[in-house]
């Protein structure tokens, strides 16, 4: 009897530990990247980089957010803005709505993941990893590798509160 009780308690302990582990994985599961401190970067914003300036060990980004819309949302917004006739589709099924050009400030650590589009980049559509320093040269007109299209095509930024975790250029045909 005593052996069964010990075995039962051991099974209960294992079951509780497994449940706790799976619950922890479920609760912390996310599709975003992480900051150096391990915080989730699940917020994703589209917009345009207006400036990127080095300040000490990091960079300060001035970012103009916009709405990158598709399908019915894009067609309706474009028609309402007069960019297409009502009932007509937008080119390439995308339309960017940039109602305000207010700039928001974000901190960009020097180690932040950045990709831009080049003609021979290793990633999808020529995505090429670069440093934040090179991104600063692109934004500020310094020497940099040739881009497939200008950076004003927009970027997707993953953020955690006020810190950029990644910046990836958007392809716009």
Q: Which domain holds residue 52?
A: 33-67+103-169
The answer to whether position 14 is within a domain reads: yes
Flag whether 86 is in a domain: no
The reply to whether 131 falls in a domain is yes
Confidence of residue 24 (pLDDT cuts 50, 70, 90): very low
Mark whether 37 and 23 lie in a shared domain.
no
Shared domain for 11 and 47, answered yes or no, is: no
Per-residue pLDDT reduced to its tens digit, 31-45: 456 555 566 888 999
Q: Which helix (H) or strand (E) holds 67?
A: strand 58-70
The domain tally of the chain equals: 2
The answer to whether residues 155 and 111 belong to one domain is yes
Q: Residue range 55-69: average pLDDT?
A: 97
At residue 1, the pLDDT reads 56
Do 110 and 125 lie in a common domain? yes
Which own/partner contact pairs does 167-173 have at CB distance under 8 Å and 24+ positions apart?
167/49, 167/108, 167/112, 167/113, 167/114, 167/115, 167/135, 168/114, 168/115, 168/127, 169/115, 169/116, 169/117, 169/127, 170/46, 170/68, 171/117, 171/125, 172/92, 172/94, 173/92
The answer on 38 and 16 residing in a single domain is: no
> pLDDT at residue 47 above 80?
yes
The rounded distance, in Å, linking the Cα atoms of 156 and 112 is 13
- Is the pLDDT score of 154 beyond 60? yes
How far is residue 100's CA from residue 43's CA, in Å, rounded to a whole number?
Answer: 20
2 located within any domain: yes
């Amino acid at each position: 009897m005593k052996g069964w009780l010990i075995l039962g308690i051991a099974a209960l302990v294992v079951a509780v530990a497994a449940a706790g582990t799976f619950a922890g994985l479920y609760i912390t599961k996310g599709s975003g990247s992480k900051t150096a401190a391990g915080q989730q970067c699940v917020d994703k914003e589209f917009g345009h980089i207006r400036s990127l300036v080095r300040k000490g060990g990091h960079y300060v980004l001035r970012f103009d957010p916009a709405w990158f819309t598709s399908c019915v949302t894009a067609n309706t917004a474009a028609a309402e803005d007069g960019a297409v006739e009502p009932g007509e589709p937008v080119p390439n099924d995308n339309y960017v709505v940039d109602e305000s050009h207010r700039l928001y400030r974000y901190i960009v650590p020097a180690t932040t993941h950045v990709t831009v589009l080049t003609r021979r980049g290793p990633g999808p559509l020529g995505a090429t990893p670069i440093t934040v320093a090179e991104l600063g040269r692109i934004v500020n007109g310094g020497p940099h590798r040739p881009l497939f299209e200008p950076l004003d095509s927009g970027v997707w930024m993953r953020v955690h509160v006020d810190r950029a975790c990644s910046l990836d250029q958007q392809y716009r045909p």
